[in-house]
Amino acid sequence: MIDRTVASNQIPSCPGGTLYTIRPGDSFFGLARRFNTSVMALIAANPGADPQNLQLGQVVCIPVAPPPGPCPGGFPYIIRTGDTFFSIARRVGIAVPALAAANPGVDPNALQIGQRICVPAPPPPVEECPGRLYTIQPGDTFFGLARRFGYTIDALLAANPGVDPENLQIGQQICLPPSPGGGPLPCFGGSIYVVRPGDTLSSIARRFGVALADLLRANPQIQDPNVIQAGEPICIPR
């Protein structure tokens, strides 16, 4: 709210910044947005000003906008109205944890309009995959995937030469080789079924007339019966 009385002529110290005279309708929020800074930076640069009681004619300091941090391989982005880490990540095709990792000093719950952040480049797509693609989920590791699908870690590494197993990103696609561990998925006396979108273990068990417990015993690589991936091979026991 702006007091309509004229402020005193006290001029704040503003090293490196710009002096600005308050006009009708001005607020720290509006000034931060206009001059590409943050409300907190304005408050810090004007310790004698009450942001809730700005006065017409009052002189305030607009601090120098902080220089953008390094953003190797990505690009700087200016926060706009309504932006969230989730919406930005979805718009540019990256994972939210990857966006957070590229901005270690940014609070995703307190984004400021006009704030500059780094948007990392999306992980490169898998160019060739003789097996099938798998999308990294929260908590995935090469060790866990190898154990879940019956591969060796060496087989996963060989199928993904450009992937850093110590820096997997949620939403990143990797290649699962066509033959876990160098051989087919063991399914003695049964048949291999490839999971389709919308499938659940219960629906597959009903479709093939087998007990859910028998289906789970035939597929020890499945760690969570509530999470199966489209394209995943499973064994249907006889």
Q: What is the pLDDT of residues 58-84, one digit of tens each?
A: 999 998 766 556 777 788 888 888 899
Tell me if 84 is assigned to some domain.
yes
pLDDT value at residue 60: 93
Tell me if 127 is assigned to some domain.
no
Summarised one tens digit per residue, pLDDT across range 121-159 is 776 666 677 777 777 777 788 888 887 777 788 888 888
3-class secondary structure, 59: strand
In terms of residue numbers, what domain contains 165? Answer: 132-182
Same domain, 205 and 228: yes
Tokens of 156: 């996963």
Low-confidence ranges of the chain (pLDDT < 50): 1-8, 181-184
Which CATH number does the domain housing residue 201 bear?
3.10.350.10
Any residues with CB less than 8 A from the CB of 174 and at least 6 apart, and which? 126, 133, 134, 136, 145, 156, 159, 160, 163, 168
Tell me if 125 is assigned to some domain.
no
Tell me if 199 is assigned to some domain.
yes
Same domain, 35 and 56: yes
Structural domain count of the chain: 4
Tell me if 85 is assigned to some domain.
yes
3-class secondary structure, 237: coil
Same domain, 16 and 45: yes
Using alpha carbons, list the distances in angstroms from residue 206 to 129, 187, 215, 238: 32, 19, 10, 14
Same domain, 162 and 112: no
- Closest alpha carbon to 214 in 17, 96, 181, 222: 222
Tell me if 52 is assigned to some domain.
yes
